[in-house]
Amino acid sequence: MGEESMERYSRQVRFSPIGEKGQKSLSDKSVLIVGVGALGTVLANHLVRAGVGLVRFADRDYVEMSNLQRQMLFDEFDVKESLPKAVAAERKLKAINSNVKIEGIVTDVTIDNLPSLIEGIDLVLDGTDNFRTRFLLNDMCFKEGIPFAYGGAVSSRGMSALFIPGKTPCLRCFINQGDGNGQTCDTIGVISPVVDIVASYQVVEVLKYLVGDEKSLRGTLRSFDLWKNHQFDLKMHDAKESCPTCQTKEYPALVEAEDHVTTLCGRETVQIQRHEPIDLKRWATTLESVTETKLTPFLLRAQLPEGERLVLFPDGRVLVQGTEEISRAKSLYSKYMGG
Q: What is the pTM of this model?
A: 0.82
Closest by Cα among 57, 64, 68 to 35: 57
44-71 pLDDT tens trace: 999 999 999 999 999 988 888 889 999 9
- Say what the pLDDT of residue 238 is: 86
User: In angstroms, rounded to a whole number, what is the distance separating the alpha carbons of residues 90 and 283?
Assistant: 36
- pLDDT score for 177: 65
Distance from C-alpha of 300 to C-alpha of 312, rounded to nearest angstrom: 5
Mean model confidence pLDDT for the chain: 91
| pLDDT tens digit sequence for 2-14 | 677 779 999 999 9
Cα distances from 213 to residues 61, 203, 204, 231, 235, in angstroms, run: 35, 14, 11, 25, 19
Neighbouring C-beta atoms of residue 229, cutoff 10 Å? 8
pLDDT below 70 — which residues of the chain?
1-2, 177-182, 186, 256-259, 264-266, 339
Q: Rounded to whole angstroms, how far apart are CA atoms 15 and 301?
A: 55
Residue 334 identity (one-letter amino acid): S
Residue 310 and residue 302: Cα distance in Å, rounded? 5
Q: Which one of 141, 185, 243, 246 is the catalytic residue? A: 185
Per-residue pLDDT, 169: 97
Residue type, 110: T
Query: How many angstroms separate the Cα of 194 from the Cα of each of 88, 157, 185, 198, 199?
Result: 23, 7, 11, 6, 9
Distance CA 114, CA 56 (A): 12
Report the share of the chain in percent with pLDDT over 70: 95
Strands 54-59 and 30-34: parallel
Over residues 263-309, the pLDDT tens digits come to 765 678 888 888 788 999 999 999 998 889 999 887 899 999 999 99
Catalytic annotation present for 243: no
